[in-house]
Structure 1
Amino acid sequence: MAIDVTVLRVFTDREGRHGNPLGVVDSSAVSPADRQRIATQLGYSETIFVTVPEEGAHTAHARIHTPTTELPFAGHPTVGASWWLKDRGTPIKTLQVPAGVVQVGYTDELTSVSARAEWAPDFSFSELASVDELAAADPDDYTDDVEHYLWTWLDKDAGRIRSRMFAPHLGIREDEATGAAAVRITEHLSSDLTIVQGAGSVIETTWSPDGWVRVAGRVVDDGLRQID
C-alpha cells in the first residue's frame, strides 16, 4: 500500500522561495523497520516520522532519518513537523525526539523550536573572508566524515551571516538549510543571528547563555508524494 508523504520546504524566505525540502510521514502508516528505506528512497536531506498526538494532548514524538542514518535531533525536520501538526489542527507545545524534549512555538508566520546546543553535531566551522569565496567552495572538496559548515559575515552589527553546509557521509552533498548547524553557530558566536544559507533560505536564531537556542523559520507545503 502506498504511503503518503507530505513534502514541505522549511526555512523559506519571506516570499516563500528556497527552503530545505522535508518529507513528513505519519508514523502510524509505517513500520519502524521501513523508516530508513523510505528516507533513502525519498532522498531528502531528512525525512521525519511523526506520531500524531491524541486529541487534547500537546506533545508529539518523532524520529528523523537522513538518506543513510537516523539522527537524534535536527532543526529543519523539527520545525517542519511542528508546522505540519499545527496545519492539520493539532498544534503542539513540545516534540520528543531521541536527543530530548524540543520546545515548540508559533508566532505569526514563524514556527520555532528550542534545543540544547549539545544535541547538534560538532560541525567543522570555516569562516571565510567573503561571499565570493563562500560561493566558490566546491562540496566535492569536503568528502571526509565530518559535517562542514562554511560561513561569512554579511552584516556583523546586525548579526547576519551567509553559509553553506556539506555532509556527504550522511548522504547530503550540500544542505539547503541546516537547523542543527544554526544552533551550533549561534552558540559559537553567542549571538542572535539571521542566517542566509544555500540558495537563499533564511533561519532566525535566538541565543540564550543557559545553552538553549531558538531556531525559527517559515514553512511552505509543496503537497503530497506517495511512496511504496
Structure 2
Amino acid sequence: MRDGGGGSPTVVVPDGSFTDEDRRAFPATKGTSHAVFFTVERDRVLLRFFTGEGELPACGHGTVAALAVLAERADVPDYRVTLSAGGREFGGRAVRRAEGFEASFDPGPVTLRDPTAVEGELIASLVPESVGPAVVASVGRPRVLVPVRTRADLDAFTPDLDRIREVCDRLGLLGCYVYTVPDTDGRVAARMFAPSIGVPEDVANANSTACLAAYLSRETLIVDMGDSLSSPATIIATTRPGPDGPRVDVGGIATT
C-alpha cells in the first residue's frame, strides 16, 4: 500500500484439504494474482504460495499479507513469528499502525551475479531502454534486475510479454524487474514482469526489491511500484552484512 490505498490484493487462506488444483484456482476466483495458504503449528506457521500457474517457493507480498492476517488473528500490537516456506525457516513481524500493519520479514541470503554473454544479449532485447548493466539476483529463485534512467522512462516502457516469457523460460528466470536509477533522495520506482508464473505485471514484488537493495548496497531502500496498474505500493528494504552475503529485511504496510 501507499498513503492508505493501492497495494497488491492477495488471498490469505487457512490451509485445509485442498488439492493443488484447488489452490491454483483461488487467485482467479478471488480476482488476485496470488494466494497464500497458512497452517499454524505450535512454534511456527507454514506458508504455501500459488498463482494460477502453480506453486511458488516464495512470495514477498504474500508473506506480508499473511503476516497482517496472522497479526490480526493474534490481536497483539507487535506480532512476531517463525515462518516456514520454500524449505527454510525465517522470522516475520507485524506491528499495528493507524493505517494497517507494518509487516516485514527476512527473505534469506541474496546472491548476485553478472549475466553470461548469451544471457546479456537476450536480456538486452527485453529492455532496449536500459542504461546500465543488468544483474541476475536470487533469494531462492533467480530474476533479472534491469535499470532505466527515469520514472518517465519506466512509465513509458511497453513490455513484450511474450518475449519476456520466452527469454525467462529459456534462462530459468522468475521474471524481469525494471527499476529507475535512484533519485537524489535515494528513492526508486520499479515494475516487475513475470508472465512465466502467470503474472504479466506484479503490483508489488518484495523479494525482487530485497535483491535490488542488496545489489545497490543501500542501508535503506524505498521502492514505489504499482503506479502503472493504478494500485500504488511502497516497499521498504533495509540491508545489513551477513556471513554468506548481504541480508535484507523487507516489507510494507498491509491491511486486511
TM-score class, shorter-chain normalisation, is: 0.7 to 0.9
Q: Secondary structure at the match of 2:153?
A: helix
Higher relative contact order (CA 8 A, sep 6+): 1
* 2:44 equivalent in structure 1: 59
The amino acid that maps onto 1:180 is N
TM-score by length of 2: 0.73
Structure 2: distance between partners of 1:35 and 1:215: 26
Q: Secondary structure at the match of 2:212?
A: helix
* 2:211 equivalent in structure 1: 184
TM-score by length of 1: 0.81
**Mapping 1:36-185, distance limit 5 Å:** 36-53=24-41, 57-89=42-74, 91-109=79-97, 110-116=102-108, 117=110, 118-141=138-161, 142-144=164-166, 145=168, 146=173, 147-156=175-184, 158-185=185-212
How far the C-alpha of 1:213 sits from its partner, in A, is: 1.0
CA deviation vs aligned residue, 1:165-224 (integer Å, no higher than 9, x gap): 111111111111001111111111121200001212100101122132101211122xxx
Greater Cα offset, 99-108 or 207-216 = 99-108
Structure 2: distance between partners of 1:92 and 1:165: 29
Q: Secondary structure at the match of 1:187?
A: helix
Q: Does the CA contact (< 8 Å) of 1:154 and 1:160 recur in 2? A: yes
Q: Does the CA contact (< 8 Å) of 2:80 and 2:94 recur in 1? A: no
Structure 2: distance between partners of 1:79 and 1:18: 14
The amino acid that maps onto 1:185 is L
Q: Which structure features the higher share of strand residues? A: 1
Which consecutive aligned stretches of 4+ in structure 1 deviate over 4 angstroms post-superposition? Answer: none
Greater Cα offset, 127-136 or 34-43 = 34-43
**% of aligned pairs identical?**
27
After superposition, the CA RMSD in angstroms is 2.0
Structure 2: distance between partners of 1:38 and 1:113: 24
Structure 1: distance between partners of 2:89 and 2:214: 19
Q: Secondary structure at the match of 1:183?
A: helix
Question: Unaligned regions of 5+ residues in structure 1, if any?
Answer: 1-11, 222-228
Q: Secondary structure at the match of 2:64?
A: helix
How far the C-alpha of 1:83 sits from its partner, in A, is: 1.1
How many residues end up aligned between the 2 structures? 205
* 1:205 equivalent in structure 2: 237
Higher gyration radius (CA): 2
